[in-house]
């Protein structure tokens, strides 16, 4: 009988305890499927006395990372701490020592992925990160393996559970942003610093990972255009409903002959679009390949057990590799396609502004759009205020972002226009 392979867990929070619970619950099935026995031999935490969501033998817990990183018997390190430091440093150390690493850390993979992939290859170690994108949804493996025969043209999705939960509650129950963010935190969906979720950084990290795999190009985080959901107001949600749309935070990657487009921002999508019915913590990732056509991956995008499910799948891959004495095939990111500037991106726009309701004002606004080649598809003016500014909302036809920005700069200088309250991109074809 072979000795059980030893795992060290770095981190025992939402995902760490989720992984542990699945290992307890399904241990015999997992061992049988992996073809190898295993055991968790050490767990790194910050605070030994913190109450844990699962029962665990206290002797397994440590606050000393050396007890895992320096232990030659621990061959598999599962990093579930989050953030760049010290997580990156621990992953680097583990790989340098030939230990296999499984992580759900999108910040580390998006920032240092290419370096870590090389380090893993140099040291004959595996590096897996299915839990880093889409929680429990299998999406990394399909992109790495199942879809290799395709030229991926587009990848677009809801990849942050916290913001989707917040936008769903704000839309369906007219709830307040701050209250719902608190709920998402209590449910274990949010990052340690929830700004990572609501400002779109988490989704941008995930898009880097998805787009790098889909387009075979190492994309840097600074190349992703990013906007979060903090500016979305109840008015925007109400106008979206008026136009038969829903607001979602989308991560969008598209291949064009002139380069790759990568952007994360709140988006109006028509209610009939498949992504419009993805609610709460659910994520969905739409992929279009030249051979397979359209695919949609859907499931819980955050939470202990769903993310734990993805982490366990990676652990099983490593166990199988260990058993067979093989290593995972390392990604080759070889294409040198430029990333397009946001100014070159073409899409449609929703614009909400406030202007004094006087004769000629609409004509001035329309002329400013027209001067930059921006064509209006729909318009609403609400209410009639004598001297009070009233909301005016436009939806444009598709236009380059450069032109849209130039037209808004003109409009902002009109004396009758009090403010441009919000601009939200519109995807998913005409209404
Ligand atoms: P979490 O609940 O905050 O847990 C983090 C764990 O790491 C805690 O056990 C904490 O110890 C430990 N830790 C933090 N800093 C440490 C340090 N410097 N030294 C030693 N231990 C440290 O985080 P999480 O939600 O499980 O997320 C973990 C990772 O999974 C992150 O990369 C996150 O982005 C990713 N992820 C999370 C989800 C989700 O739904 N939450 C989904 C997908 C991916 P204490 O418990 O003692 O404080
Ligand atoms: N904070 C992340 C989210 C966790 O809400 O999607 C899953 O990656």
- In the chain the domains, ranked by start, together with CATH numbers, are 5-136+304-324 (3.40.50.720), 141-299 (3.30.360.10), 344-426 (3.30.70.260)
Strands annotated E in 281-408: 282-289, 293-300, 346-356, 376-381, 389-396, 399-400
Residue 327 has pLDDT above 80, yes or no: no
Say if CB 162 and CB 302 are below 8 A apart. yes
pLDDT of residue 385: 63
Say if CB 76 and CB 100 are below 8 A apart. yes
Tokens of residue 309, six digits: 């499910």
3-state helix, strand, coil in the chain (%, to 5): 40, 25, 35
Task: Give distance in angstroms: CA of 366 to centre of ligand 1.
Answer: 51
Q: In whole angstroms, what is the distance from residue 180 CA to residue 264 CA?
A: 21
Task: Give distance in angstroms: CA of 17 to centre of ligand 2.
Answer: 16
Query: Residue 294 burial by CB count (10 A; 0-12/13-18/19+): exposed, middle or buried?
Result: exposed
CA 304 to chain centre: 17
pLDDT of residue 421: 97
* Mean pLDDT of the region 271-282: 96
- Alpha-helical regions (H) of 256-356: 304-324
Share of the chain above pLDDT 90, in %: 91
Tokens of residue 153, six digits: 């043209």
Pocket test for ligand 2, best of 191, 195, 200, 278 (most atoms within 8 A of CB): 191
pLDDT in tens, 231-266: 999 999 999 999 999 999 999 999 999 999 999 999
Query: Which of these, 173, 224, 240, 226, lies nearest to 198 by C-alpha position?
Result: 226
- State the pLDDT confidence band at 428, using cuts at 50, 70 and 90: confident
Question: Which letter does DSSP use for residue 431 in this model?
Answer: -
- State the pLDDT confidence band at 356, using cuts at 50, 70 and 90: very high
* Mean pLDDT of the region 116-141: 96
pLDDT of residue 325: 87
- State the pLDDT confidence band at 391, using cuts at 50, 70 and 90: very high
Residue 334 has pLDDT above 80, yes or no: no
* Cα four-point dihedral sign 359, 363, 365, 368: negative
Query: Which of these, 8, 15, 96, lies nearest to 44 by C-alpha position?
Result: 8
Q: In whole angstroms, what is the distance from residue 134 CA to residue 206 CA?
A: 8
Q: Which ligand is nearest to the CA of 16?
A: 1
* Mean pLDDT of the region 144-150: 94
pLDDT of residue 388: 84
Q: Examine residue 270 and say whether the peptide bond preceding it is cis (omega within 30 degrees of 0).
A: no
- By mean pLDDT, which of 7-11, 132-136, 178-182, 205-209 is the weakest? 178-182
Q: Which ligand is nearest to the CA of 281?
A: 2
Query: Which of these, 337, 338, 317, lies nearest to 328 by C-alpha position?
Result: 317
- State the pLDDT confidence band at 319, using cuts at 50, 70 and 90: very high
Question: Which letter does DSSP use for residue 339 in this model?
Answer: B
Query: Which of these, 247, 282, 285, lies nearest to 266 by C-alpha position?
Result: 247
Say if CB 430 and CB 401 are below 8 A apart. no
pLDDT in tens, 11-51: 999 999 999 999 999 999 999 999 999 999 999 999 999 99
Q: Which ligand is nearest to the CA of 61?
A: 1
Residue 90 has pLDDT above 50, yes or no: yes
Task: Give distance in angstroms: CA of 157 to centre of ligand 1.
Answer: 24
pLDDT in tens, 279-307: 999 999 999 999 999 999 999 999 999 99
Q: In whole angstroms, what is the distance from residue 269 CA to residue 224 CA?
A: 20
CB atoms within 10 A of CB 47: 9
Report the nearest atom of ligand 1 relative to the CA of 46.
Answer: 47
pLDDT of residue 331: 67
Which amino acids are annotated catalytic? 206
Q: In whole angstroms, what is the distance from residue 149 CA to residue 181 CA?
A: 41
Residue nearest to atom 38 of ligand 1 (CA): 302
337 or 81: which leads in pLDDT:
81
Is any ligand 2 atom within 6 A of the Cβ of residue 301?
Answer: yes
- State the pLDDT confidence band at 431, using cuts at 50, 70 and 90: very low
Share of the chain above pLDDT 70, in %: 96
Residue 382 has pLDDT above 70, yes or no: yes
CB atoms within 10 A of CB 243: 18
Say if CB 250 and CB 156 are below 8 A apart. yes
pLDDT of residue 170: 96
Q: In whole angstroms, what is the distance from residue 403 CA to residue 47 CA?
A: 53
Say if CB 264 and CB 224 are below 8 A apart. yes
Task: Give distance in angstroms: CA of 131 to centre of ligand 1.
Answer: 13
Residue 310 has pLDDT above 80, yes or no: yes
Question: Which letter does DSSP use for residue 280 in this model?
Answer: T
Task: Give distance in angstroms: CA of 138 to centre of ligand 1.
Answer: 21
Q: In whole angstroms, what is the distance from residue 23 CA to residue 40 CA?
A: 9
Residue 335 has pLDDT above 80, yes or no: no
**In terms of C-beta distances under 8 Å and separation of at least 24 residues, what long-range contacts does 359-363 make, across chains too?**
361/414, 361/416, 361/417, 362/392
* Mean pLDDT of the region 314-323: 95
Question: Which letter does DSSP use for residue 330 in this model?
Answer: P
Phi first, then psi: give them for residue 361, nearest 5 degrees. -65, -45
Q: In whole angstroms, what is the distance from residue 166 CA to residue 161 CA?
A: 9
| Pocket lined around ligand 1, Cβ cut-off 6 Å | 11-16, 44-47, 50, 80-82, 86, 104-106, 131, 135, 188-189, 191-192, 302-303, 307
Render the burial of 263-279: b for 16+ CB within 10 Å, e for the rest.
bbbbbbbbeebebbebb
């Amino acid at each position: 009988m072979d000795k059980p392979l030893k795992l060290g867990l770095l981190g025992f929070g939402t995902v760490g305890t989720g992984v542990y619970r699945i290992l307890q619950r399904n241990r015999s099935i997992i061992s049988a499927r992996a073809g190898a026995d295993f055991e968790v031999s050490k767990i790194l935490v910050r605070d030994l006395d913190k109450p844990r969501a699962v029962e665990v033998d206290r002797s397994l817990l440590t606050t000393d990372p050396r007890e895992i990183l320096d232990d030659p018997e621990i061959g598999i390190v599962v990093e579930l701490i989050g953030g760049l430091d010290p997580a990156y440093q621990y992953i680097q150390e583990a790989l340098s020592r030939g230990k296999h690493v499984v992580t759900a850390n999108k910040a580390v993979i998006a920032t240092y992925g290419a370096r870590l992939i090389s380090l893993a290859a140099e040291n004959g170690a595996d590096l897996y990160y299915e839990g880093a994108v889409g929680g429990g949804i299998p999406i990394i493996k399909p992109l790495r393996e199942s879809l290799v025969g395709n030229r991926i043209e587009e990848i677009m999705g809801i990849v942050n559970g916290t913001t989707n939960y917040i936008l769903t509650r704000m839309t369906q129950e007219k709830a307040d942003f701050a209250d719902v963010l608190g709920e998402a935190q209590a449910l274990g969906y949010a990052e340690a610093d929830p700004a990572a979720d609501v400002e779109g950084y988490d989704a941008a990290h995930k898009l880097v990972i998805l787009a790098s795999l889909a387009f075979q190009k190492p994309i840097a985080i600074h190349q992703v255009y990013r906007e979060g959901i903090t500016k979305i107001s109840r008015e925007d949600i109400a106008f979206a409903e008026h136009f038969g749309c829903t607001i979602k935070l989308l991560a969008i990657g598209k291949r064009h002959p002139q380069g790759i487009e990568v952007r994360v921002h709140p988006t109006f999508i028509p209610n009939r679009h498949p992504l419009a019915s993805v609610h709460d913590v659910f994520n969905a990732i739409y992929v279009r390949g030249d051979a397979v056509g359209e695919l949609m991956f859907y499931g819980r995008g955050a939470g202990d057990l769903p993310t734990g499910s993805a982490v366990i799948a990676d652990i099983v891959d490593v166990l199988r590799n260990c058993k067979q004495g093989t290593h995972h095939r390392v990604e080759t990111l070889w294409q040198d396609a430029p990333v397009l500037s946001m100014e070159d991106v073409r899409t449609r726009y929703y614009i909400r502004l406030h202007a004094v309701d006087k004769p000629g004002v609409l004509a001035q606004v329309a002329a400013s759009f027209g001067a930059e080649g921006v064509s209006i598809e729909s318009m609403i003016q609400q209410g009639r205020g004598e001297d009070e500014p009233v909301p005016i909302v436009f939806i444009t036809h598709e236009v380059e972002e450069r032109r849209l920005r130039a037209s808004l700069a003109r409009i902002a200088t009109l004396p009758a226009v009090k403010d441009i309250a919000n601009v939200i991109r519109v995807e998913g074809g005409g209404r």
